[in-house]
Amino acid sequence: MGRELFEAYPSLVAEANEILGYDVRELCLEDPKRVLNDTQFTQPAVFVVTALAWLRWRERNASDPIAVAGHSLGEYAALMAAGVFDFRTALTLVRTRGRLMAEAGGGAMAAVLGMSAEAIEARLRDAKRDDLHVANLNTSEQTVVAGPTQAIEDAAVLFEGDPGVRYIRLKVSAAFHTPAMEPARQAFARTLREVSPRPPRFPVIANLTASPYPEDPEDIREVLAAQISWPVRWYESASKLLGYPGAEIEEIGPGNALTRMMAQIRERPMDVDISIWTAQSESEPNRETEPVSEPALQSPPSLRNFQPKRARELPAGGRVFAYTGHGSQYYRMGEALYREHPGYRAAVDACFEVADAKLPRPLGRVMFEDYRPFDPFERLRFSTPALVSLGVGLSAVMRERGVAPDATLGYGLGEWLAAVAAGALSWRDALELSLELATLIEERVAPGAMLAVFDEPAVFAREPECFEGCTLAGIDFSRHFIVSGPPAAIEAAAAAARERERITQPLPMLHALHGPALDAVEAPFLARARAVSLRPLALPMYSPSRRAWLERVDAALLWEAVRAPVHFLDAIEAVRRRGGLLVDLGPSGTLAGFVRHHLDDRGCSLAALNRFARGPASLEQLLRQLEGDAQHSQQRVSA
């Protein structure tokens, strides 16, 4: 694509090559490395071709358009056309956008043809598919849905039986324009602070609002960032453009997909408010390069009139309760506390009662009695509910002492406990789900292993020969990461590390969590998780699996917490930016240790327990620190 354009604008092509660090012409015309379908390359390539096509259109037309709009990525070319950004700035933003969306990748998309968006949403709601989202509202009968890959595959049965309805998987590798892109949105919002948008010379209809872009630079940044994780309202936007008297629509850029959509929309436009067009003129004045005067657009509504629901973040200087997951467990964890603290014991006993009804042996006996010294606590069927029970017990002690969090986060399974502490999930549902997950994994997933590596996470990609067959399961801090995989692959990775004098530590695991081995149980787990009653978050909650502060907790998140890689380093940074104090409510002080190592022991984390101190004394010390406001404030770190 773009052959003639590359020849017509060699200086801009050279500028693009310098910005991108590769030959965009070669990418578009030859694609020798077969990367053009990768979104971090697709987006810059399509933008460059579209931007050059706009310049050619502008050279051939004496006047500006009445208004412009772009579908998803195309909005950047529309903003460039309207003078909001110059070519260099727009391409730099597109390059960053593509990279961030690729990093937040995972998931799939499918087009549903022959059914209205309202009917699609109703069908997903009836099927309790809260892991699927409408991503693009393209025409009256073309809507794109997105979500986890397995969920997109499973959803086909919801639509394929209807006469005239088609369900088509799209060739993309992520769930764009959905909450899965929230990490990309947050990171991109920070990038946008470094640019200075100009007011549009003529109206640009925004995907996010289906209304003209605002003129205020801060509002422009907010709309553009939110576009990444919110649906594209193209049907509504295009209907507004067609509502302009005598509107003629031209598609600029590679392909003719929008032309085909516009033909469908023209036949059946959405009933929209077109009062933004305040006058009609049979003959337009020659506007040359001046902004549009007649017919004029009413003042664009401020973004403040459209407030997308945003995830709440940790209040500045706030306290975060953090819950750990698999790998931190050990026999006799919390035993002294259980023997000596009535409040902790009461909460844990309630968990034991639920768990014992589904386990072959009483959980308390397994944890505290039926073991040999130095045995690793490996059996998921017992270690999983044990971790949940300990987290529930420690949370109960915090409540009893009047110590409350300002936000929560979790590592792996710990995200479930964070959801409990944030009010979105009941402890009983979390415990019962943990029992079912452990049973599914033990019955259906092949044996696996997990290994902690004490080195910078970049070595996983830099030395692939050392980690053949392994999955990057977690990035804990700047010098520590986790890999998972089949036992033989993990043994080979440990051996390769020894050859390079790299320290490793096997985790007490018999299965490879946070990797593709778990895909065998995704469908049955999600079927059970969707039956759980989930409530709105009462507190801000950060998800290392989604790398973002959450808007809500859904069944898909509960799955991603144990299947997706854990980006705990991002969680540390999210807390640090808010000057927060991380309180580790796990059995080992593992998360507090990660924070101290990453931030060079700058005093922004505390731990309730560790393996080498008596539980009651360790917990009491923590409580005294938290109950003293002066002591608490000293632990906080400025962002």
Q: Which residues are catalytic?
A: 72, 177
What distance in Å separates the CA atoms of residue 597 and residue 578, rounded to the nearest whole number?
18
Here the tokens at position 167 are 């369900």
Here the tokens at position 367 are 């944890």
- Residue 607's CB is within 10 A of a number of other CB atoms, namely 26
What distance in Å separates the CA atoms of residue 230 and residue 178, rounded to the nearest whole number?
6
What distance in Å separates the CA atoms of residue 388 and residue 324, rounded to the nearest whole number?
9
**Paired residues of 69 in beta bridges:** 205
Contact between 296 and 279 under an 8 Å Cβ cutoff? The reply is yes
Contact between 438 and 359 under an 8 Å Cβ cutoff? The reply is no
Here the tokens at position 85 are 């950004």
- Residue 365's CB is within 10 A of a number of other CB atoms, namely 14
| Residues in Cβ contact with 606 at an 8 Å cutoff, skipping those fewer than 6 apart | 581, 582, 583, 584, 592, 622, 625, 626, 635
Here the tokens at position 463 are 């030395």
Using CA atoms, how far residue 231 sits from 3, 121, 133, 152, 226, in Å, is 32, 13, 9, 17, 9
The pairs formed by 65-68 with CB atoms below 8 angstroms and a separation of 24 or more are 65/202, 66/202, 66/203, 66/244, 66/247, 66/284, 66/292, 66/295, 67/202, 67/203, 67/204, 67/205, 67/212, 67/241, 67/244, 67/292, 67/297, 68/202, 68/203, 68/204, 68/205
What distance in Å separates the CA atoms of residue 207 and residue 228, rounded to the nearest whole number?
10
Distance from the first to the final alpha carbon of the chain: 46
CA nearest to 223, candidates 296, 282, 158, 301: 301
Here the tokens at position 484 are 């998972």
**Paired residues of 605 in beta bridges:** 582
Contact between 222 and 168 under an 8 Å Cβ cutoff? The reply is no
CA nearest to 480, candidates 471, 488, 490, 472: 472
**Paired residues of 480 in beta bridges:** 477
Amino acid 336 reads A
Contact between 579 and 633 under an 8 Å Cβ cutoff? The reply is no
The CA-based angle 87-104-512, given to 5 degrees, is 155
